[in-house]
Amino acid sequence: MKKLYIVANWKSNKTRSEVDEWFHGFELALLQDPVIRKEVILCPSFVYLPRVKQLITEGSLPISMGALNVSSFGSGAYTGEVNAIQLKDYVQYVIIGHSERRKNFGETDDIVNQKLGQAFENNLIPILCVSNIEQVISAKLQVQSYNSKIKIIAYEPVAAIGTGNPDTPQKANEMAMAIQKELGDVPVLYGGSVTAENVHSFAIMEQLNGVLVGKASLDPHEFSSIITNA
């Protein structure tokens, strides 16, 4: 049975009390339906990484943690940045190159590639988000220079993100094949308007290894159903 990654991208959402509430709802659902071949990766805002880690530990929950971003620099005089060495205290994974960062924060392929470099140097596993094959090729060149390998790609067509209009599972599967043609046997996740209703149609596609979930991950019950249904 293939492995599925189910990643929650909380984006810039939730207060501390909402984080706690989420765990209240989620914990119960998860305990009723143990996760076996599915790796759940929760990515909250930086400020809640310690709290989320504490809640996972206290509840002995089978949940991994990821960060939503990483500085393109190491430690030093980079006011306001959070670097990979700091993140390593909390997470195993880091989302890099999300289209919202490319669009709203001017993240070019070069910056994305620097961030990949920071992740590789510090043994964080990047979940590289791409919306087209050019972005894959750019990252491929960077990875070669680090003598490393991209471990997880999330294919997220921009028109599908936050719109309620997901890509078709068939098109996502074709894109996954194109990505694997470039990068070899890398797990490809699909992201963009994934819900508890449609998650299974993506999870069963031959070339897909899971989903990256934005809005629907904010509700603990919906997210629990996504894990169950995947």
Q: What residues pair up with 130 in beta bridges, in sequence order?
A: 155
Closest separation between CB of residue 129 and ligand PGA, Å? 7
Q: Tokens representing 185?
A: 């046997």
Q: Does 215 bind ligand PGA (CB under 6 A)?
A: yes
Quick check: 182 and 161 in contact, CB under 8 A? no
Cα(48)–Cα(14) distance, rounded to whole angstroms?
9
Print the binding letters for residues 48-87 with ligand PGA: x by CB under 6 A, - otherwise: ----------------------------------------
Please say which residue, 193 or 207, places its beta carbon nearer to ligand PGA: 193
Q: Does 43 bind ligand PGA (CB under 6 A)?
A: no
Closest separation between CB of residue 99 and ligand PGA, Å? 7
* Segment contacting ligand PGA by CB under 6 A, of 67-75, 118-126, 176-184, 192-200: 192-200
Closest separation between CB of residue 227 and ligand PGA, Å? 14
Q: Report residue 93: phi and psi, to 5°.
A: -115, 160
* Segment contacting ligand PGA by CB under 6 A, of 16-24, 25-33, 36-44, 187-195: 187-195
- Count other Cβ atoms within 10 Å, centred on residue 211: 28
Q: Tokens representing 13?
A: 């959402």
Cα(101)–Cα(68) distance, rounded to whole angstroms?
10
Q: Does 196 bind ligand PGA (CB under 6 A)?
A: no
* E strands in the chain: 4-9, 38-43, 63-67, 93-96, 125-130, 152-155, 188-191, 208-213
Q: What residues pair up with 43 in beta bridges, in sequence order?
A: 9
Cα(166)–Cα(202) distance, rounded to whole angstroms?
10
Please say which residue, 93 or 141, places its beta carbon nearer to ligand PGA: 93
* Helix, strand, coil percent content, the chain, rounded in steps of 5: 45, 20, 40
The correct pick among 93, 214, 223, 224 for binding ligand PGA (CB under 6 A) is: 214
Q: Does 212 bind ligand PGA (CB under 6 A)?
A: yes
- Is 24 labeled as catalytic in the residue annotation? no
Print the binding letters for residues 147-186 with ligand PGA: x by CB under 6 A, - otherwise: ---------x----xx------------------------
**Contacting ligand PGA within 82-111 (CB under 6 A):** none
Catalytic residue ranges:
98, 156
In the complex, the residues that contact ligand PGA under the rule CB under 6 A are: 9, 156, 161-162, 191-194, 212-216
